[in-house]
Every structure is written in structure tokens, then in C-alpha cells.
């Protein structure tokens, strides 16, 4: 069973700061997902990646397969980025998502 750990659990930052959220997993994976859960509860898939880096607007996701580690970065953070960010992985031959416990991000104006 893949163990997925995120850090930090909670993060509070000032508007404009550069944010980094980390995710590590214990077993080789076929893909890693970053999800965003808004305060209202809705879940949005931000990225799915299996190698390298992806960028969408102010969000950047990277993954290091050898180190079994991924990071989610937010540049020029804004209060609307306040949400819970969840890392999840899928294993080879299996479509199940295994979730981390999430990182609660609060951006203060």
C-alpha cells in the first residue's frame, strides 16, 4: 500500500508570497495528482503528472521519480488561493487514487 505524506499540514502566508507544498510517497507510481478543495467543499483537479514539471498560470507542479517526491508551488499568492491542497497517487496497474491528508493553505491579504 502506498503511503502518501504531505507537508506542511497547515500553512499561513501573506499575499504575494511564494508557496511550496510537498508530497512524498513510499512506492513507485504511475501518476501523481494535485487536487484543490475549496472552502465550499468542491474538488478540482489541478495537475496530473508522471515526470518533470507542469505549469498552469501561477501554479507549478514538479515531480522527482527517483526521490518519490513532488512539490506544488504557487507564485504571487492571493487570498483566493486559500484552500486545501491534496496530493494523490495511482499505482501501476491500478486506477485507484491514494490520497494524502491535505495541506490547508490560508493567504492573508
Partner 1 sequence: DAGVIQSPRHEVTEMGQEVTLRCKPISGHNSLFWYRQTMMRGLELLIYFNNNVPIDDSGMPEDRFSAKMPNASFSTLKIQPSEPRDSAVYFCASRGLKGSETQYFGPGTRLLVL
Q: How many CA atoms lie within 13 A of 103 on its CB side?
A: 26
Assess contact for 54 and 60: CB atoms under 8 A. yes
Closest approach, Cβ 63 to partner 1, in A, equals 14
Per DSSP, the three-state class of 81 is helix
Q: How far apart are CA 39 and CA 42, in angstroms?
A: 8
Q: How many helices (H) and strands (E) does the chain have?
A: 0, 11
Tell me the window of 11-19, 30-38, 53-61, 62-70 that interacts with partner 1 (CB under 8 A): 30-38
Interface residue with partner 1 among 21, 23, 83, 86 (CB under 8 A) is 86
Tell me the window of 8-16, 19-27, 44-52, 67-75 that interacts with partner 1 (CB under 8 A): 44-52
Does position 44 interact with partner 1 (CB under 8 A)? The reply is: yes
Does position 31 interact with partner 1 (CB under 8 A)? The reply is: yes
In the beta sheet, which residues pair with residue 36?
A: 44, 85
- Which residues form the interface with partner 1 (CB under 8 A)? 31, 33, 35, 41-45, 48, 86, 88, 90, 94-102
Amino acid at each position: 500500500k502506498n503511503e502518501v505524506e504531505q507537508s506542511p499540514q497547515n500553512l499561513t502566508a501573506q499575499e504575494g508570497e511564494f508557496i511550496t507544498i510537498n508530497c512524498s510517497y513510499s512506492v513507485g507510481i504511475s501518476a501523481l495528482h494535485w487536487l484543490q478543495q475549496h472552502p465550499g467543499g468542491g474538488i478540482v483537479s489541478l495537475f496530473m503528472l508522471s515526470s518533470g514539471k507542469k505549469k498552469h498560470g501561477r501554479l507549478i507542479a514538479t515531480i522527482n521519480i527517483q526521490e518519490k517526491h513532488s512539490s506544488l508551488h504557487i507564485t504571487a499568492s492571493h487570498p483566493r488561493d486559500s484552500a486545501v491542497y491534496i496530493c494523490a497517487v495511482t499505482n501501476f496497474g491500478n486506477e485507484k487514487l491514494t490520497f494524502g491528508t491535505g495541506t490547508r493553505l490560508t493567504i492573508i491579504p
